[in-house]
Structure 1
Amino acid sequence: MWDDYDRRALDRLMGKCTEDEAGCWVWKGSAPGGQNRRRSGARRYGDISYRGRQVVVHRLAYSLMVADIPDGLELDHLCRNTLCVRPDHLEPVTGAENLRRAALARSGGDAWPNAA
């Protein structure tokens, strides 16, 4: 159930995002280990304080804008941009499927699994 705290959290989250040329809503806030940039190829996920704890920003965005993430699933960034919080660029999948898609994208396969 949404409340005023959730509305303010979503406003704060979206206030730290910009849309890029690919249509991603890119998080410009903080990320563990450094200011939201990839270093030495390391993947970075943004984080934000929510209800007294640090949470991964794309998971919070999805939960607030779409629905809770089902138990046992994680969010795949269909756009392959780990700083993207746009809900239609995120899909709940198993860990195995997420790894399979990431490997396919790294090998030059289609980054968007549902592309025609």
Structure 2
Amino acid sequence: MTYDTYEPSAAAGPAEPDVTGQGPWRVLVEYSNRGDLKPPTVVQVGKTEHAERGVALEAALRACREFNPPDPAFEQSRQVYRDGPDGFLVVLEGAMSTFHMSVRIVSPLGPPTTAQ
């Protein structure tokens, strides 16, 4: 397999500020909704706040093994992959199809904003 690669130019702008050490952390789970239901993608942010990033990552890893999305209905196997420094990709093999979900830790960068 070959994939296109992105080559950043030397004239790239400044990077985003480093916020990796900020908390509190919460576990976020993103998965496809059952069949043709709306919305097609569901994002659930956990209510538990973790002051330490490592503790939040442990909670996210537990969610990878324990959270049951609506699909597949008859799960046959589950494989967890590290997906960057703050998350995991979970591949769920069903009896007839393969599904996936993303589990990661997030930290709000400010209070919620409302639409204008």
Q: TM-score, normalising length from structure 2? A: 0.24
Name the one with the larger helix percent.
1
The one of the two structures with greater contact order (alpha-carbon pairs below 8 A, sep at least 6) is: 2
